[in-house]
Structures are given as C-alpha cells and as structure tokens.
C-alpha cells in the first residue's frame, strides 16, 4: 500500500516503513540501543532524502525514548544531576549540529557529509568494539579474566579542573570531559539522526565508571531532550521533519522492540558484543561502498538554497 510522504515528497509502501521500524526496533531491543545509526541509513538506502531522513529520525528517537525514560524513572535508575550535565552539553551540541546541517544543505554537500561521517564514526566505533569483543571472546574461551583497573588508578582526564560529585553514581569527575562528550553526542545526533546511546553508554561505563544500573537511564535523559530540541530546530529552520514518516517508524519500532528484548536475554555477553560490533561495521562498510565505488552516473542535479 503506497502512501505519499509530504515532506520527503515521494510515495512509499507503508508496510516497508513498518517493517523497517520493526526490524530496527527488534535490534534496538536486543542490544539496548536506540537504533538511530541503523534507521537513518536504511531510510537513505530506500530513497528518502538524507535531510528528511536525519530530521525525521530525530523525531522518532524522541518519541521512542519517552517510554524508555519513564520506565527507568519509575525504577529510580537515573542520576538526575549527571543527566542534567549531559543534557546541557547535548543542547549546545544539537544547536551547533543543526547550524552545520543547514550550511551543508545550502551548499549541496549534505549527503556527502552524512555518508563520510557515518563511515568514520561507525567504522572507528565498530572496529574498536569488534577488537574488544574478539579479545573478550578469546579470554572467555581460554578461561582468562579481563584485566581491571585498580581503585587507585586514574585516567589523565580525571585530573582536570571543575570537578563535581555525583552521589547517585558514586563518582567524582571533571565536568570538562563530560561536557565534551555530551556536546559531541548532541552534534552527531543533529547531523546524523542518531541518539548516540551506542557511544554514550560505553563511554560512561568505561571512561567514567558510572554504574551499569544507572547508565542507560541517565543517558536517556540526554538523548530524549536533545532529540526533542534537534527536532524543533530542524522543523523551524529547514522544515525537513516528516512527522508521518516518524510516526510509522515509531509504531513499527514499538512492536519490534518487545521481541528483541526477549531475544537479547538469551545471548551470552561476549556473543552480544560481537554481534553488535559486526552490525555497526556492516553499516559503515555499506556507506564506505557508496563513497568509494565509482557511481554509474558521473553527474547529478540537486536543488540548493541560495541566500537572499
């Protein structure tokens, strides 16, 4: 059944969008991630303009993160103080990201920027996760425990100024690296249409030693409100948010996430990380193919905005 998307300006099969939402929701529920790094590329691959895909996916992430945040709030698995610090940086990053997004769109380089950014970001994250997952898998097979950092050991960034104590997480860290991380996540989310949970969660756990019991719920505070802010900015500045597209994707994702969460409970830890790393690397490889392989048509015509 074909349905016309008014902002994307093309007809598309509703079942295709619901199926994509369900598939990404299944993967997101299995691995505990938002899935924006998968949904945005899929939308681009099926013909949705990159600008509309990114902006609409931000709205979809905001909608799907709401129920997740409420759930973690009821369980009291959120560090409110840490979440507000991450949110402040995320809002700044989102504003910078939307401004960069609009400038790249005006000069006709948005699609290239999105493709190259996905290759670099997902490629580096996926490769590092793949190496770590393989080492963990080999250690588990040999019965060797992973090396742990002792209590007296501190990373260099933990000695930076402007420290703040976060009693709920039991950490005392500098606001400088936290702010840099949150600004980067907000910027990447606005430009690429990703929530950034697959970067934020590992960073908080491994870099700042935030307890796993509160890390996901706390990261959801930053993801939800920065995606809401990015959606408003995209809708107000470039009118590229297709709410019908976002709604159809959200409906599919809600159903898929329920089954994905059940499937994820059956995976072993090392298999879990290995599959996620392979998935991220596969998406990066797909974008790398588009960037590196010679196109069938040497020239294309696009409409760019001119300053008045």
Residue-wise pLDDT for 215-263, tens only, equals 877 887 888 888 888 888 888 887 778 888 888 888 887 777 667 656 6
Residue 34's pLDDT band (cuts 50, 70, 90):
low
State the average pLDDT over residues 38-45: 80
What was the pLDDT predicted at 226?
83
Q: What angle do CA 136, 139, 143 make, to 5 degrees?
A: 140
- Is the pLDDT at 164 greater than 80? The verdict is yes
Supply 186's token pair: 């907000």
Token reading at 136: 């963990």
Q: Choose the most confident range, by mean pLDDT, from 70-74, 138-142, 164-168, 220-224.
A: 164-168
**Model confidence pLDDT, tens digit, residues 258-293:** 676 566 556 565 566 677 778 778 878 877 887 676
Residue 305 has pLDDT above 70, yes or no: no
Distance from C-alpha of 1 to C-alpha of 22, rounded to nearest angstrom: 17
283 domain residue, yes or no: yes
pTM above 0.85, yes or no: no
- In a domain? residue 150: no
Mean pLDDT of 14-22: 83
- Strand 2-5 to strand 10-13: parallel, antiparallel, or no bridges (unpaired)? antiparallel
Q: What is the pLDDT of residue 273?
A: 66
End-to-end distance of the chain based on CA atoms, in angstroms? 41
Mean pLDDT of the chain: 77
Query: What gap in Å lies between CA 39 and CA 61, rounded to an integer?
Result: 10
The pLDDT assigned to 304 comes to 47
**Is residue 255, in this structure, part of any structural domain at all?**
yes
Query: Percentage of the chain with pLDDT > 90?
Result: 2
Helices (H), the chain: 14-31, 36-45, 50-74, 80-106, 110-142, 175-192, 197-206, 212-237, 243-264, 269-292
When pLDDT is averaged across residues 184-193 and rounded to a whole number, the result is 85
Residue 4 placed within a domain: no
Residue 272 has a pLDDT of 64
Does the pLDDT at position 58 exceed 80? Answer: no
Give a yes or no: residue 17 inside a domain: yes
The answer as to whether 274 is a domain residue is: yes
The domain total for the chain is 1
Nearest to 62 by CA among 179, 195, 172: 195
Q: How far apart are CA 166 and CA 76, in angstroms?
A: 15
Lowest-confidence pick of 16-20, 84-88, 177-181: 16-20
Which of 129-138, 177-186, 207-216, 295-304 is predicted with the least confidence, judged by mean pLDDT? 295-304
Residue 75 lies in a domain: yes
- Flag whether pLDDT at 174 surpasses 70: yes
pLDDT for the residue numbered 180: 92
Q: Answer yes or no: is pLDDT of 21 > 70.
A: yes
pLDDT score recorded for residue 308? 44
Helix (H), strand (E) at residue 86: helix 80-106
List the domain range (segments joined by +) for residue 21: 10-141+156-290
Residue 302 lies in a domain: no
| Residues 255, 25 contacting (CB under 8 angstroms) | yes
């Amino acid at each position: 059944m074909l349905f016309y998307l008014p902002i994307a300006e093309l007809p598309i099969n509703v079942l295709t969008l619901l199926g994509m939402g369900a598939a990404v929701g299944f993967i997101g529920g299995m691995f505990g991630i938002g899935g924006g790094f998968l949904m945005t590329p899929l939308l681009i691959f099926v013909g949705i303009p990159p600008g509309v895909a990114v902006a609409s996916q931000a709205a979809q992430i905001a909608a799907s993160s709401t129920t997740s945040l409420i759930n973690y709030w009821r369980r009291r698995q959120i560090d409110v103080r840490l979440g507000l610090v991450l949110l402040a940086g995320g809002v700044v990053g989102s504003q910078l990201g939307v401004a960069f997004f609009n400038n790249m769109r005006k000069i006709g380089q948005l699609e290239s920027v999105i493709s190259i950014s996905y290759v670099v970001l997902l490629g580096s994250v996926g490769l590092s996760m793949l190496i770590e997952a393989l080492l963990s898998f080999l250690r588990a097979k040999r019965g060797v425990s992973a090396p742990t950092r002792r209590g007296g050991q501190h990373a260099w960034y933990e000695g930076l100024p402007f420290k703040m104590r976060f009693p709920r997480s039991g950490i005392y860290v500098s606001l400088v690296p936290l702010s840099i991380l949150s600004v980067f996540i907000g910027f990447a989310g606005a430009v690429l249409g990703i929530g950034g949970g697959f970067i934020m969660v590992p960073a908080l756990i491994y870099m700042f030693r935030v307890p796993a019991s509160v890390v996901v719920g706390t990261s959801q505070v930053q993801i939800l409100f920065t995606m809401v802010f990015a959606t408003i900015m995209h809708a107000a500045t470039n009118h590229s948010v297709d709410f019908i597209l976002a709604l159809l994707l959200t409906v599919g994702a809600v159903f898929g996430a329920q089954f994905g969460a059940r499937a994820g409970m059956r995976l072993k830890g090392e298999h879990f990380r290995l599959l996620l790393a392979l998935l991220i690397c596969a998406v990066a490889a797909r974008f790398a193919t588009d960037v590196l392989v010679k196109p069938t048509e040497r020239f294309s015509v696009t409409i760019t905005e001119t300053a008045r």
